[in-house]
A and B are shown apart, each in its own frame.
Chain A
Amino acid sequence: MQNVTEFPKEFTSKRRSPFREAMRHLWRHSSGKAGIIILGLLVLIAIFAPVIAPYDPTQLLKDQKRRDTPCVHLLGCPKEEQQHLFGIDGNSRDLFSRVIYGSRLSLQIGLATMVFAILIGTLIGAIAAYAGGAVDNILMRLMDVLMAFPSLLLAIAIVSVLGTGLINALLAIGIVSIPRFARLVRSTVLSVKELDYVQAARALGASPMRLLFQRILPNAITPLIVQGTLGIATAILDAAALSFLGLGAEPPRPEWGLMLGEEKNSIFSAPHLVIFPGIAIMLTVLGFNLLGDGLRDALDPRLTHGRQ
């Protein structure tokens, strides 16, 4: 067959997958781009922590002065001294190594709590909307009650019952994040379950499970991703807060909140021990917040793309 008249190139557009389309919009969005860069660096740091960190995060450096100020060769610290970019902490450990390894812990904390909260929240929301009636009422009133507490305080109360420790702290933060997702999924399911395309699938004999997972819940994915990303930021802040209060991670774990809590009294004598872990928390949380904002704009087809 002879080829048909070639279509002018400028009129053809490559079909992009929705994912790539969203990524393109996200990259054009200035806060989305900033978020991707910050988090990309953070993930690299977390993966290559053993390469970047000069010491083991729990290694005690016997020959170093406790709470010694940073020694950076480039900034004029004598070459014969050991280099410690962020100084030495109260237990004579290298703070830089601890902060680097802390990125692993914080990313895990944020992801684990949000996956937990999204799974349970989706389940509760979907059941409530699907079952309706009394089940819906009971589940959603329970969510209202959980939301009637300031979230961090409820997490503190839950930790007081479960006992202190990182796992219990994460469980507590996960539990207090559930209502947000349950409400979101419930409202999505309610708004689409009577639509024609769902009815059509039902008429074709699709099972309720198939209807729910293949026809209804995909509508909730976009808002769940956005809320989940912003939720990771809150979860990291809350986990750091619990550890700071001594209710979360236990020493000698390199957790940023715990590092701050351990050294809060040396703020006047050795401020570097407080400043660096704090900057690490701030940048991580900032990264997730920016990415969340960017995703909200990039994934919402109703918004005009670009900076508002």
Chain B
Amino acid sequence: MTQFIGRRILLLLPVLLGVILVTFIIVRLIPGDPCVTMLGERATPAKCALFLERYGLNDNIFVQFGRYLGNLAKLDLGDSIRFTRPVMDLLSERLPLTMELTMSAMLFSTTVGVLLGVISALKRNTILDTITMIIANIGVSMPVFWLGLLLAYVFALELKGTPFVLPPSARFTAGVALQNLDEVWGLTNLTGFKKFIIDLMSNTVLVNVIITGDWKVFWDSLKHLILPAVAVGTIPMSIIARMTRSSLLEVVGLDYIRTARAKGMQESRVIRKHAMRNAMIPIVTIIGIETGSLLSGAVLTETVFTLPGMGTALVSAILARDYPVVQGFTLVIALIFVFVNLIVDLSYAYLDPRIRVD
């Protein structure tokens, strides 16, 4: 098993290097003078000379890439041109929300998707099956941002006055805010990596609330998170439901399931203990692949629900031509995606012992 993990991580290195190379090259491909493109009308010859010097754009491209790698090793993603502050600072503010959104959407899509799929497979060719599969087919075809808008409309306007009303925008109700952990702990003048970690923890609701004990903030943010999470999770949920159905149907036809039934084992136990374990392998693959759609969906949904996450920052950075932010955020999201797929690959080995030996 250790060997398998080691080999899998080794295989990851060229992909990681490639991802870094792509994000490096992308910014170099921008047509025109980089100084004029990024500074816009503020670009004077004197300022440009300073700009090129500061960002090291006069150097040989290989030297630039070497420096980029070196900076990444020091966890330095450069400075935002628009905000004149490190991209890592922005990241520590923006990343937690996007991760919260992605993870709650993943939780939603996996639980509901697997549940719908199992129901559909067990009640095969009944009206229940048909309805579930129609829901799944429609779910795959809905634009994330449109579903987000519809949910906002229904739950914020139509259901006003019922207990089901949910807030359609923002991360917290006005007046509710997270406490800064460096203040809570009386830490001052933090710099570099320590500051990044503390900021990251401060901005992650669950971590923050566990430390400060301020659960009111947690419930408030949870209420704000439900609609976006459902919107983001619907496409993956539908795909997982369809996958679960076909995967489970294939497995329950196998001999070992008949054996288990012949032994007189309870049907629910046959499904849970025997069938699901083998049916899970393709489902886990799909969950890994769908992480990409979850991350993309989070970017889109943040715009709909005006959430201050990486997506809204990325879009406004593109429109403002703030390329260090675009580059840094794209890289971080790709790294998360690569990392999740690593976990998925490793979990196959847990689910299917044959893969370990291979």
- Chain A positions near chain B (C-beta within 8 angstroms): 31, 141-142, 144-146, 148-154, 156-161, 164, 233, 237, 240-241, 244-247, 257, 260, 264, 267-268, 271, 274-275, 277-278, 281-283, 285-286, 289-290, 308
Contacts and interface: CB of A to CB of B under 8 A. Distances in A.
Interface string B280-297: 000000000001110110
Contacts of A240: 143
Given A153-B330, A282-B142, 8 more contacts: A150-B337, A153-B333, A154-B334, A157-B330, A161-B26, A278-B142, A286-B141, A289-B137
Contact of B146 (A144, A150, A246, A278): A278
The B interface is mostly helix, strand or loop, or mixed, namely: helix
Contacts of B135: none
A216 to B, nearest CB: 28
Contacts of B300: 152, 241, 244-245
A216 B315 CA distance: 44
8 contacts: A31-B137, A148-B334, A149-B19, A149-B292, A160-B318, A260-B145, A264-B304, A289-B137
Interface residues of B, number: 48
**Shortest 7 CB-CB contacts between residues of A and residues of B:** A145-B18, A150-B292, A152-B296, A278-B146, A286-B141, A285-B141, A160-B318
B19 A148 contact: yes
A236 to B, nearest CB: 9
B256 interface: no
A220 B177 CA distance: 56
A279 to B, nearest CB: 9
A148 B26 CA distance: 15
B5 to A, nearest CB: 19
Contacts of B330: 149, 153-154, 156-157
A66 B14 CA distance: 55
Q: Which of A141, A142, A153, A237 has the most CB of B within 10 A?
A: A153
Nearest to B294: A150
A152 B14 CA distance: 22
A245 B145 CA distance: 10
Interface string B317-335: 0110001001000100110
A240 B300 CA distance: 11
Contact of B296 (A150, A159, A267, A278): A150
B138 interface: yes
Nearest to B14: A141
Nearest to B158: A271
Interface stretch (B103-111, B148-156, B343-351): B148-156
B326 A278 contact: no
A267 B152 contact: yes
Given A157-B326, A289-B140, A289-B141, A149 B337 contact: yes
B333 A150 contact: yes
